[in-house]
Amino acid sequence: MNVIISASELVSALAGENPPVVLDVRWQLSVAKAAGEPPFDGRAAYASGHVPGAVYVDLDRELAGTSGAGGRHPLPDLAEFGAAMRRAGVSAVRPVVVYDGGQGWAAARAWWLLYWTGHPDVRVLDGGLTAWRGELSVDVPVPAEGDFEPRPGTAGLLDADAAAALARSGVLFDARAGERYRGEVEPIDRVGGHIPGAVSAPTTDNVGADGRFLPAEDLRERFKSLGASEGTEVGVYCGSGVSGAHEVLALAVAGIPAALYVGSWSEWSSDPSRPVAVGPDPR
């Protein structure tokens, strides 16, 4: 599966006969900040300069539902998601390329949603906007209405019960930082720790210092060493289904299909009746 695209490949694709729709999904996780420090504004970042022709997509409003019992970034209403994608010009017959500021998490969330709902050709700009070497534009395009209709797949999505079962029967990766997995710190959610049986696999270890994904063979070896051998069912969760999508993308680069628990730790930990494991041991 061809799920990432380099900056040079994107330049060529934009000059081709069927150029991709480009989506700018710049976003940063909101955590407690020092007094007076403003939150990150993705739309303002987009307005200051973006890949020419790119359309801004708001992760919190268009790629997620309302925060609540289902987690901080639950699935969006699919009718609203489809309308947002059509406004951005997304059609079934045109490729889509998504990018963010370079971390890759937000772009991966857009990639996963489009892929899971049936778009046949979606790729993430490897390295994000920091990898782009062309000029930036401040012009805001008004794309022609697209025709994309989201049709959710029958696989690729986990709920809390399915994630717990997969941690016993297959491999469930926890894509968060190791200290959150171990329960040493928890800056956002009710309690620290991990789903019993889940394996710590921080998604930050899937990329190099330049923010680009490691070679596919290196990723395959990494995931194999963590238990994702051939034929093993694989799932991923994170804090709220954003960085976890990035790990699903890394697994796709490695040729390993994986499902995403969108509610992730923000949903799991909100229910005091669900078990919580701490420390480095999965169990």
For residue range 225-280, list pLDDT tens digits in order: 999 988 999 999 999 999 999 999 999 999 999 999 999 999 999 999 999 999 99
184 φ, ψ to 5°?
-75, -35
How is residue 103 written in tokens? 């971390």
- pLDDT per residue over 164-177, tens digit each? 999 999 999 999 99
**Helices 105-116, 243-253: crossing angle, 10 deg rounding:** 70
List residues bridging with 21 in a β-sheet. Answer: 96
Token pair, residue 163, equals 């994630």
In the beta sheet, which residues pair with residue 100?
Answer: none
Query: What confidence tier does 34 reach under pLDDT thresholds 50, 70, 90?
Result: very low
CATH 3.40.250.10 fits 4-131, yes or no: yes
Give the C-alpha separation, 209 to 15, whole Å. Answer: 29
CB 122 within 8 A of CB 114: yes
This prediction has a pTM of 0.96
Q: Are 246 and 205 in contact (CB under 8 A)?
A: no
Residues of the chain with CATH 3.40.250.10: 4-131, 157-268
Smallest Cα–Cα separation from 52: which of 95, 104, 86, 97? 97
The length of the chain in residues reads 283
Q: How far apart are CA 236 and CA 251, in angstroms?
A: 10
* pLDDT reading at 90 higher than 60: yes
- Angstrom CA distances, 236 to 145, 164, 230, stand at 34, 11, 17
Q: Which residue has the tokens 């997509």?
A: 57
Q: If pLDDT is split at 50, 70 and 90, which confidence band does 29 have?
A: confident
CA gap 204, 282 in Å, rounded: 19
Annotated catalytic residues are 238
The pLDDT, as a whole number, for residue 53 is 97
* Alpha helix segments (H runs only) across the chain: 7-14, 42-48, 59-62, 78-87, 105-116, 160-169, 178-181, 216-225, 243-253, 264-268
Whole-number percent of the chain with pLDDT over 90: 91
Q: What's at 235, amino acid-wise?
A: G
| Topology annotation, domain 157-268 | Oxidized Rhodanese; domain 1 (3.40.250)
Alpha-carbon dihedral sign for residues 135, 138, 142, 147: positive
Task: With a cut of 60, say whether residue 41 has pLDDT above it.
Answer: yes
